[in-house]
């Protein structure tokens, strides 16, 4: 069973000529109804303080958002809906610091689709904004499968069937993948399909855990395993206390295994955590590390250690970078040694020295390829992406198109749980070897719908903020190179 979906994207919609910019978040999740087939759920959350509230005849105020959804396959429209989303009525337009939510449930058979959302604030003169995503569905009745993971704001037993009910629960989705310091519970909903059809009365093992997004290191503190009975559908609500989870990028993983511990199905959801770690907390932990007779014991030069620490930034977590920067500034050789050893011991407990040597060889490669007169290769955007994800599977270098800046398109067939992800780098000074990452469709990377215009600004100045594509120019192949790097 395979299923792919781009789970979350944020819409920041410029309201031209208006004082406010509409801000909305869209989440999509796939589920499966036995006997009926797959269906897509969409959750749209609109920030009330970013839209215009209009007066009503009852003396109150209300916002109105026009939403259009088109799902097509090749050139055929498979689903279309256009409707208005109304906010709650308010007495005072200064008290709109809330989000209002829309949820849709759309049956879709297996296949590949194009999902297009258009959204407009009806109380302003702003033009509509559209976003297009690819969607692939592949569920089967006799294959064990997992739904997408749905983060929750809250839940309660369902008294009746509503748009927000599922699996016997009334679910309020969390239309975000960001967990700030004051949100200390990760609550999620998931479904498991067809275990009874495949395994009969045999039970199975369900597990869920948090791993680092950068290096896929499992955080055992946030790992849970549960034995379950086979059913047609197992509906699950789980909660993880993330009070002590430090800042960083993470994946929440769910897995189904049989009694022999063989993996039968898995799915993943990316999220970000913000919980700054006090420098004193980190220092206290490193004080206990003994580096005698380790590979870092020979690194006694402060400048060399500082250079080594700086070059691991592309694969470091947020708190690791914070602590590392502090130690480099303080220049305490012992603490720098302890940090550096701990960094690699966390990534390879059996042979941290080998892990560092392997990574160091890659650093030398990116320094040779991507350094400039003022910047080391590992500090460049191309160097960071290379060190974080490895060499691209396809690399398209486009330096001589007459109407564009020099640019490169990198394609990765696989990045963790993501498939077919691309990165666009552009050189706007035409002199140095420094290419800036301006767009990617990978989770956690810069995403700019107008990236083609930025590539073409060598020959065209764009003042139309609703236009995402270039006008036709002789030799301009940016869109083609992004779709088909070669």
Residue 84 Cα distances to 63, 65, 87, angstroms: 10, 5, 10
The first and second tokens of residue 234, run together, are 């197992």
Nearest to 220 by CA among 180, 253, 262: 253
Given a cut of 60, whether residue 6 has pLDDT beyond it is no
129 and 12 in one domain?
yes
Residue 60 lies in a domain: yes
pLDDT at residue 482, as a whole number? 64
The first and second tokens of residue 388, run together, are 């974080």
pLDDT at residue 130, as a whole number? 80
pLDDT at residue 286, as a whole number? 66
How many other β-carbons are positioned within 10 Å of the β-carbon of residue 235? 14
Domain end among 336, 370, 404: 370
Q: 409: which residues sit within 8 A by CB, 6+ positions away?
A: 394, 395, 396, 398, 422, 423, 424, 425, 481, 482, 485
Cross-strand pairs, 234: 192
Residue 380 lies in a domain: no
pTM of the model: 0.68
> Rounded to an integer, what distance in angstroms lies between the CA atom of residue 471 and that of residue 448?
17
**Under 8 Å between Cβ of 460 and 403:** yes
Q: 385: which residues sit within 8 A by CB, 6+ positions away?
A: 314, 410, 423, 437
pLDDT at residue 2, as a whole number? 43
300 and 318 in one domain?
yes
Residue 375 lies in a domain: no
166 and 102 in one domain?
no
| Strands (DSSP E) found in 91-217 | 99-107, 111-121, 129-137, 145-146, 150-157, 165-166, 169-173, 178-179, 185-193, 204-212
Nearest to 209 by CA among 189, 188, 226, 224: 224
pLDDT at residue 285, as a whole number? 59
Residue with tokens 């189904």: 256
> Rounded to an integer, what distance in angstroms lies between the CA atom of residue 262 and that of residue 151?
27
> Rounded to an integer, what distance in angstroms lies between the CA atom of residue 424 and that of residue 439?
5
**Under 8 Å between Cβ of 89 and 100:** no
102 and 9 in one domain?
yes
How many other β-carbons are positioned within 10 Å of the β-carbon of residue 371? 17
Nearest to 316 by CA among 344, 348, 278: 344
Q: Give per-residue pLDDT as tens, 412-426.
A: 998 877 888 999 999
pLDDT at residue 325, as a whole number? 81
In this prediction, residues 374-387 reach a mean pLDDT of 94
Three-state SS string over 149-161 comes to CEEEEEEEECCCC
Domain end among 92, 112, 139: 139
- What does the DSSP 8-state code read for residue 337? H
**Under 8 Å between Cβ of 183 and 243:** no
| 111-121 vs 129-137, strand pairing mode | antiparallel
Given a cut of 90, whether residue 80 has pLDDT beyond it is yes
pLDDT at residue 458, as a whole number? 61
pLDDT at residue 486, as a whole number? 60
238 and 308 in one domain?
no
pLDDT at residue 214, as a whole number? 75
Q: 136: which residues sit within 8 A by CB, 6+ positions away?
A: 2, 3, 4, 5, 111, 112, 113
Phi, psi of 50 (to 5 degrees): -115, 5
Given a cut of 60, whether residue 5 has pLDDT beyond it is no
Q: What CATH number does residue 78 fall under?
A: 2.60.40.10
Mean pLDDT of the chain: 85
45 and 113 in one domain?
yes
Is 221 or 71 the better-scoring residue by pLDDT? 71
> Rounded to an integer, what distance in angstroms lies between the CA atom of residue 217 and that of residue 346?
8
Nearest to 446 by CA among 381, 392, 394: 381
96 and 161 in one domain?
no
Q: Which domain holds residue 197?
A: 149-275
266 and 189 in one domain?
yes
130 and 33 in one domain?
yes
128 and 75 in one domain?
yes
Q: Give per-residue pLDDT as tens, 33-50.
A: 988 999 999 999 999 999
Domain end among 139, 168, 191: 139
In this prediction, residues 255-281 reach a mean pLDDT of 82
83 and 130 in one domain?
yes
Q: Give per-residue pLDDT as tens, 443-479.
A: 878 888 788 888 887 655 444 444 445 444 444 566 6
Q: What CATH number does residue 254 fall under?
A: 2.60.40.2550
Residue 382 lies in a domain: no
Residue 215 Cα distances to 231, 307, 343, 366, angstroms: 34, 21, 12, 19
**Under 8 Å between Cβ of 264 and 144:** yes
pLDDT at residue 153, as a whole number? 92
Cross-strand pairs, 103: 43
Given a cut of 70, whether residue 173 has pLDDT beyond it is yes
283 and 271 in one domain?
no
In this prediction, residues 75-81 reach a mean pLDDT of 95
Is 430 or 113 the better-scoring residue by pLDDT? 113
Residue 370 parent element (H or E):
helix 352-370
Q: How many domains is the chain partitioned into structurally?
A: 4
> Rounded to an integer, what distance in angstroms lies between the CA atom of residue 437 and that of residue 448?
10
> Rounded to an integer, what distance in angstroms lies between the CA atom of residue 273 and that of residue 177?
9
Residue 413 Cα distances to 416, 423, 485, angstroms: 10, 12, 11
Given a cut of 60, whether residue 283 has pLDDT beyond it is no
In this prediction, residues 178-191 reach a mean pLDDT of 93
- What does the DSSP 8-state code read for residue 326? H
Residue 6 lies in a domain: yes
> Rounded to an integer, what distance in angstroms lies between the CA atom of residue 390 and that of residue 412?
9
> Rounded to an integer, what distance in angstroms lies between the CA atom of residue 144 and that of residue 230?
10
Residue 240 lies in a domain: yes
Given a cut of 70, whether residue 164 has pLDDT beyond it is yes
Residue 385 lies in a domain: no
Residue 319 lies in a domain: yes
pLDDT at residue 465, as a whole number? 43
């Amino acid at each position: 069973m395979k299923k792919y979906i781009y789970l979350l994207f944020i819409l920041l919609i410029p309201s031209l000529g208006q004082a406010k910019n509409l801000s909305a978040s869209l989440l999509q999740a796939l589920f499966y109804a036995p006997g009926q087939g797959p269906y897509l759920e969409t959750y749209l959350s609109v920030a009330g303080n970013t839209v215009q509230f209009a007066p009503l005849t009852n003396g109150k105020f209300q916002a109105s958002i026009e939403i259009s959804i088109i799902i097509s396959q090749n050139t055929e429209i498979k689903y279309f809906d256009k409707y208005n989303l109304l906010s709650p009525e308010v007495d005072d337009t200064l008290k709109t610091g809330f989000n209002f939510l829309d949820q849709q449930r759309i049956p879709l058979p297996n296949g590949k689709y194009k999902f297009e959302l258009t959204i407009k604030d009806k109380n302003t003169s702003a033009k509509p904004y559209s976003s297009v995503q690819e969607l692939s569905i592949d569920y089967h009745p006799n294959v064990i499968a997992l739904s997408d993971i749905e983060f929750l704001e809250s839940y309660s037993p369902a008294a009746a069937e509503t748009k927000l009910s599922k699996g016997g629960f009334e679910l309020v989705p969390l239309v975000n993948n960001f967990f700030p310091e004051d949100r200390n519970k990760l609550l999620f909903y998931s479904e498991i399909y067809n275990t009874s059809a495949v395994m009969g009365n045999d039970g199975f093992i369900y597990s869920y855990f948090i791993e680092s997004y950068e290096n896929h290191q499992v955080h055992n503190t946030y790992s849970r395993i549960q034995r379950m009975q086979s059913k047609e559908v197992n509906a699950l609500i789980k909660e993880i206390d993330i009070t002590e989870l430090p800042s960083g990028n993470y994946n929440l993983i769910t897995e189904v295994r049989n009694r022999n511990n063989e993996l039968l199905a898995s799915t993943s959801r990316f999220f970000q955590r913000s919980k700054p770690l006090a420098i004193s907390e980190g220092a206290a932990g490193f004080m206990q590390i003994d580096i005698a007779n380790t590979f870092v014991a020979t690194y006694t030069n402060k400048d060399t250690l500082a250079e080594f620490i700086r070059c691991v930034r592309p694969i470091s977590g947020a708190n690791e970078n914070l602590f590392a920067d502090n130690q480099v500034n303080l220049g305490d050789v012992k603490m720098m040694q302890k940090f550096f050893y701990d960094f690699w011991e966390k990534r390879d407990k059996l042979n941290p020295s080998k892990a560092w040597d392997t990574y160091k060889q890659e650093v030398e490669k990116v320094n040779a390829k991507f350094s400039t007169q003022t910047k080391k290769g590992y500090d460049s955007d191309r160097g960071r992406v290379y060190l974080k994800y490895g060499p691209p599977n396809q690399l398209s270098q486009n330096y001589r198109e007459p109407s564009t800046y020099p640019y490169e398109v990198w394609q990765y067939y696989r990045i963790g749980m993501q498939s077919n992800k691309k990165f666009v780098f552009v050189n706007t000074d035409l002199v140095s070897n420094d290419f800036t990452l301006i767009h990617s469709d990978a989770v956690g990377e810069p995403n700019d719908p107008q990236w083609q215009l930025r590539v073409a600004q060598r020959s065209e100045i764009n003042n139309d903020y609703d236009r995402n594509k270039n006008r036709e120019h002789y030799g301009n192949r940016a869109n083609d190179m992004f779709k088909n790097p070669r």
